[in-house]
């Protein structure tokens, strides 16, 4: 008899909701833990071709921190598509104007750059303050693995 590998179907998979308080957390370590949950790598049934991840709600995005001197030197760059259209913004400007974009970009860069990665990113809900509208989903607090030294 030949051995077979069983795969879970979407009907067998139950999505859970998690909530993370980003207040005082280091950005990269926070993004790593969120990306693992969004991809579903915290589950024993993880498979690279199937989205088995959970939804994550992040509150207090504006209170993340960076280590060292990166708060003054980190820049986010983009290109407009026109000659001379290389634009940069530093971290402190982004965290003041759009605090949720900082966490979104960090998590996005840790997910696969495919259709499945974009599908995983849609399960990430970011809020600059402590309140969120996902109380009905009963999100459980997510235990972060990294140290925040």
Classify 17-66+100-141 by CATH class: alpha beta
Which pLDDT tens digit goes with each residue over 6-55? 766 666 678 899 999 999 999 999 999 999 999 999 988 888 888 889 99
Higher pLDDT: 149 or 134? It is: 134
Q: What is the DSSP letter of 142?
A: P
Task: Work out whether the CA dihedral 95, 138, 40, 32 comes out positive or negative.
Answer: positive
Give 24's contacts (C-beta < 8 A, 6+ positions apart).
63, 64, 65, 148
Strand ranges, E, within 8-54: 17-21
Which pLDDT tens digit goes with each residue over 126-142? 999 999 999 999 999 99
Instruction: Give the pLDDT mean for 62-76.
Output: 94
């Amino acid at each position: 008899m030949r051995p077979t590998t069983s795969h879970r179907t979407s009907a067998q998979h139950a999505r859970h909701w998690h909530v993370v308080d980003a207040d005082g957390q280091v950005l990269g370590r926070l993004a790593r833990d969120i990306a693992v949950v969004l991809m579903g790598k915290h589950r024993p049934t993880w498979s690279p071709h199937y989205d088995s991840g959970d939804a994550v709600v992040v509150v207090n995005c504006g209170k993340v921190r960076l280590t060292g001197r990166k708060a003054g030197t980190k820049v986010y760059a983009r290109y407009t598509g026109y000659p001379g259209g290389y634009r940069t913004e530093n971290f402190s400007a982004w965290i003041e104007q759009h605090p949720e974009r900082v966490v979104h970009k960090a998590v996005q860069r840790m997910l696969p750059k495919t259709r499945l990665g974009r599908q995983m990113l849609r399960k990430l809900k970011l809020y600059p303050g402590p309140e969120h509208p996902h109380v009905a989903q009963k999100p459980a607090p997510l235990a972060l693995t990294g140290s925040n030294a």
